[in-house]
Amino acid sequence: MFPRVRGELGRSLRATDATGILFEWYGESGGQLKYYPRIAEATWQSKVFTLEPLVEGDYGIEKKAEVYFPERWAALQKNPEA
């Protein structure tokens, strides 16, 4: 069992210091280990940037499914119960 977070059973083990979380380990999600290095310890960093806005139109998980699996997507559009 993982430690409780805000009264609820947690989903990870966390290593923290006075500035915040350093590591998180998700044992129930394939053993994912996440590391959050301190900015002062960075060996490289980019300049501040702004992401381009999304273009209008279709995007998202359904569009990805349609692009990755065109035949299956078309079949499901014709017969959603398949």
Q: What is the DSSP string of 31-43?
A: SEEEE---GGG-S
3 state DSSP class of 29: coil
pLDDT above 70 for 6: no
pLDDT above 60 for 54: yes
Question: What pTM did the predictor assign?
Answer: 0.44
Task: Dump strand ranges (E) for 1-82.
Answer: 4-5, 8-9, 13-17, 20-26, 32-35
pLDDT above 90 for 27: no
Mean pLDDT of the chain: 83
pLDDT tier at 34 (50, 70, 90 boundaries)? very high
